[in-house]
Chain A
Amino acid sequence: MDLFLQQIVSGFATGGIYACMALSVVMIYQAIHHLNFAQGEMATFSTFIAWQLLAWGLPYFAVIPLAIGLSFIGGFIVERVVFKPIENAPVLSHIVIFIALFAIFNSAMGFIWDFSIKPVPSAFGEGPLYEGSLLSKHQTGMISVTMFVLVLLWAFFRFTRVGLAMRAAAANPQSARLVGIRVSFMTALGWGMASAIGAVAGILIAPVVFLEPNMMLSILLYGFAGAVLGGLTSPLGAVIGGFIVGIVENLAGTYIPVVGGELKLPIALFLIVVVLVVKPEGLLGRRVVQRV
């Protein structure tokens, strides 16, 4: 029983990371209707920036806002420079650019920081939260930060004018222009935010998995799985999907002997395929109430 609880709880903790990645995938998907394969590499890059700042001796509380802020600007610039020019280009051009970005970020990291794995200290300290706790300090931190980010985003989209404008631009770009919203600027903002959320996910997961250029490869896949499971059109769905994927992954790894540690990744792919076949719109995907 204890083992079971333990697995659920730690699945919940990593699920938070998947939820963040799913959320950043969905943010970009909402704006441009494509999945950004380079999202993971961008998040890893952000994590390297954080690592570098730490290595230069900056304290964690300064590093985190800096890394997140730089990532926001980076995501914004990537959209302006690379994607704005191909706004109306066919799907294939987007895919080619995603792959190119993936390769560029990946090799840039290898070039700057080499491919050796680097331990990253946790911002929350080592060891269990308290004597006999199911959660470690770091896992507690992961869950709290994820929750905080989610609530913050929800409040942003629900209560601010910019949030409303971003929702309008994603839902109906043509009408959004007719009320004076700069739709393409909103897309760039979305990229900035997605990239900032990716940075949070990367910085939270690095102490668990070690930092190296391919760190986010499998995590992004789980993020995709979460996003697809929850519904690519629903931020809330993506978050819930991310948590479910985290828990399922952990339980399957523990209780299904053939899965073990090795076969965890195919589970993400399996989930994606099952959802796409059984319920393509996902758990909370656009279920616009139909007039009957």
Chain B
Amino acid sequence: MSAILEVKGLEASYGQLQVLRGLDFEVAKGGVTALLGANGAGKTTTLRAICGMIRRKGEITFDGQRIEKLGTEDVVRLGVAHIPEGRGTFGTLTTEENLQLGAMTRPNNSDIQADIERCYGFFPRLKERRNQQAGTLSGGEQQMLAIARALMLRPKLMLLDEPSFGLAPLIVRQIFDILADVKREAGVSMLIVEQNASLALELADHAYLIETGSIVISGEAKAIREDESVRASYLGY
């Protein structure tokens, strides 16, 4: 099993405050890895460090290529789609323009319109709102839009920061089903950060637990899901 993303000794700070203290982890090709941990553990920071939104130290290898020195645009162009905390909606543009932007790095003629229709298939609500200013979508609709926009890149790796945030339970279920489809059919690898640990561990093959910037537990998702003591002390369910 080869890794599409391999991270070694990842460190990152905000000013004086060191948030990541040497993380080692990987995401298998075609696999889903979950990153779990309490609020403020450094999960969002880890995703940001991978795609160059903050200064970082350590080795990051994506698809056989070192990327720790690349800027965000260049990491994205290699096929990494990041669904950020806060959704990253282009609020003044329309829903459909937001989707077109997701495919901005793809060649002009590469069935972008067909992919937009496919996204509308996943999220019919977005189709109803296609010409609406995206900033006026509801929080949940914007979360759907963020996922759809990431799919528009036809990514090799998706970094998902709490995709269930602010969504009704029914929609959460639906989104995780879609993610499972995407993984199965398109073979997209994923690194997923999620508060809803039971859901994330269902989708994931592998999981890491972060505590104040270090990895404390790593293992098969299934094993972690079934480990009473981990569940009780870290995941709280």
Contacts and interface: CB of A to CB of B under 8 A. Distances in A.
Interface of A: 161, 164-165, 167-168, 171-172, 174-183, 286, 288-291
B105 A174 contact: no
Given A171-B90, A178-B82, A161 B108 contact: yes
Given A164-B101, A165-B104, A182 B73 contact: yes
Nearest to B71: A177
A286 B135 CA distance: 13
Contacts of B97: 164, 167-168
B93 A180 contact: no
Contacts of B76: 177-180
- Of the candidates B71, B90, B149, B153, the one having the most CB atoms from chain A within 10 angstroms of its own CB is B90
A239 B146 CA distance: 34
A289 to B, nearest CB: 5
Nearest to A178: B82
A172 B88 contact: yes
- Of the candidates B72, B90, B101, B133, the one having the most CB atoms from chain A within 10 angstroms of its own CB is B101
Interface in B130-161: 133, 135-136, 138, 149, 153
The 6 closest A-B pairs by CB, nearest first: A180-B105, A175-B88, A180-B76, A177-B72, A171-B92, A180-B77
B196 interface: no
B213 interface: no
Contacts of B104: 161, 164-165, 168, 179-181
B84 interface: yes
A171 B77 contact: no
Contacts of A181: 73, 101, 104
B184 to A, nearest CB: 25
Contacts of B105: 179-180
Contacts of B53: 174, 177-178
Nearest to A162: B104
A288 B101 contact: no
Contacts of A164: 93, 97, 100-101, 104
B207 to A, nearest CB: 25
Interface in B89-113: 89-93, 97, 100-102, 104-105, 108
B35 interface: no
A180 B91 CA distance: 18
A291 B136 CA distance: 5
Given A167-B92, A179-B102, 7 more contacts: A161-B100, A172-B89, A174-B53, A175-B89, A177-B73, A181-B101, A291-B136
B73 A172 contact: no
Nearest to A175: B88
Interface string B174-218: 000000000000000000000000000000000000000000000
A172 to B, nearest CB: 5
Contacts of B100: 161, 164
A174 to B, nearest CB: 7
B51 interface: yes
Contacts of A182: 73
A168 B153 contact: no
Interface in B54-106: 71-73, 76-77, 82, 84, 88-93, 97, 100-102, 104-105
Contacts of B92: 167, 171, 286, 288
B72 A288 contact: no
Contact of A289 (B72, B84, B90, B133): B133
A180 B136 contact: no
A169 B203 CA distance: 34
Given A164-B100, A177-B73, A182-B73, A288 B91 contact: yes
B73 A165 contact: no
A171 B136 contact: no
B56 to A, nearest CB: 15
10 contacts: A161-B108, A164-B100, A167-B92, A171-B92, A174-B88, A175-B84, A178-B88, A180-B104, A289-B135, A291-B138
Given A161-B104, A289-B136, A291-B136, A179 B153 contact: yes
A167 B136 contact: no
- Of the candidates A168, A174, A177, the one having the most CB atoms from chain B within 10 angstroms of its own CB is A177
Contacts of B84: 175, 178
A181 B51 CA distance: 14
A167 B93 contact: yes
